[in-house]
Amino acid sequence: MAIQQRPLILDVEARPAPLKGLLLSLQHVFAMFGATILVPILLDMPVSVALLASGVGTIIYQIATKAKVPVYLGSSFAYIAAMQIAIDQMGGDVSAAQTGVIMVGLLYVVIAAIINYTGTAWVDKVLPPIVIGPMIIVIGLGLAGNAVTSAGLVMDSDWRTIFVAISTFLITAFVNTQGKGFFKIIPFLIGIAGGYIIAVLLGVVDFTPVIEANWFALPQLYLPFETTTFNSYSFYFGPESWALVPIVLVTVAEHIGDHSVLGKICDREFLKDPGLKRTLIGDGVATAVSGFFGGPANTTYGENTGVIGMTRIASVSVIRNAALIAIFLSFMGKFTALISTIPDAVLGGMSILLYGVIASNGLKVMIEDKVDFNQSRNLIIASSMLVVGLGGAVFDIAGFVTLSGTALSAIVGIILNIILPKQEAEYDPEV
> What confidence category does residue 66 fall into, taking pLDDT thresholds of 50, 70 and 90?
very high
Q: Report the DSSP beta bridge partners of residue 74.
A: 299
Residue 414 belongs to some domain of the structure:
no
Distance separating alpha carbons of residues 383 and 413, to the nearest angstrom: 10
> What confidence category does residue 105 fall into, taking pLDDT thresholds of 50, 70 and 90?
very high
Residue 25 belongs to some domain of the structure:
yes
**pLDDT per residue as tens digits for the range 118-137:** 877 777 788 788 988 888 78
Distance separating alpha carbons of residues 375 and 13, to the nearest angstrom: 48
Residue 83 belongs to some domain of the structure:
yes
Q: pLDDT at residue 99 above 80?
A: yes
Ranges 1-15, 26-40, 52-66, 226-240, most confident = 52-66
Residue 37 belongs to some domain of the structure:
yes
**Residues composing the chain:** 431
pLDDT cut 70: percent of the chain above it: 91
Residue 419 belongs to some domain of the structure:
no
- Range in 57-71, 132-146, 194-208, 275-289 with the lowest mean pLDDT: 132-146
Q: pLDDT at residue 428 above 60?
A: no
Residue 201 confidence (pLDDT): 93
* Averaged pLDDT, 48-56: 93
Residue 96 confidence (pLDDT): 92
Determine the Cα angle at 340 with ends 338 and 346, to 5°. 100
Q: pLDDT at residue 412 above 80?
A: yes
Ranges 7-11, 137-141, 241-245, 311-315, most confident = 241-245
> What confidence category does residue 54 fall into, taking pLDDT thresholds of 50, 70 and 90?
very high
CB 214 within 8 A of CB 225: no
- Range in 189-198, 291-300, 354-363, 407-416 with the lowest mean pLDDT: 354-363
Count of domains observed in the chain: 1
Residue 2 confidence (pLDDT): 40
Residue 1 confidence (pLDDT): 37
Ranges 15-24, 85-94, 358-367, most confident = 85-94
Count the Cβ atoms, other than its own, within 10 Å of residue 294: 28
Distance separating alpha carbons of residues 65 and 57, to the nearest angstrom: 12
Residue 65 confidence (pLDDT): 94
* Averaged pLDDT, 234-263: 82
**pLDDT per residue as tens digits for the range 174-227:** 887 887 765 765 677 788 889 999 999 998 888 888 888 788 888 888 999 888
Residue 119 confidence (pLDDT): 76
Residue 17 confidence (pLDDT): 83
- Range in 7-11, 165-169, 232-236, 316-320 with the lowest mean pLDDT: 7-11
Q: pLDDT at residue 171 above 60?
A: yes
Mean pLDDT, the chain, whole residue set: 83
Domain range enclosing 38: 18-370
Distance separating alpha carbons of residues 425 and 63, to the nearest angstrom: 52
Instruction: Write the secondary structure of 79-122 as one string of H (helix), E (strand) and C (coil).
Output: CHHHHHHHHHHCCCCCHHHHHHHHHHHHHHHHHHHHHHHHCCHH
CA dihedral (112, 118, 119, 120) positive or negative: negative
**pLDDT per residue as tens digits for the range 392-408:** 787 777 665 666 677 78
Per DSSP, 291 falls in state H
Q: Report the DSSP beta bridge partners of residue 73.
A: 300
Query: What one-character-per-residue DSSP string does 243-285 give?
Result: TTGGGHHHHHHHHHHHHHHHHHHHTS-TIIIIIHHHHHHHHHH
Residue 289 belongs to some domain of the structure:
yes
Q: pLDDT at residue 430 above 60?
A: no
- Range in 127-131, 280-284, 296-300 with the lowest mean pLDDT: 127-131
Residue 145 belongs to some domain of the structure:
yes
CA atoms within 13 A on the CB side of 53: 38
Residue 331 confidence (pLDDT): 92
Residue 375 belongs to some domain of the structure:
no
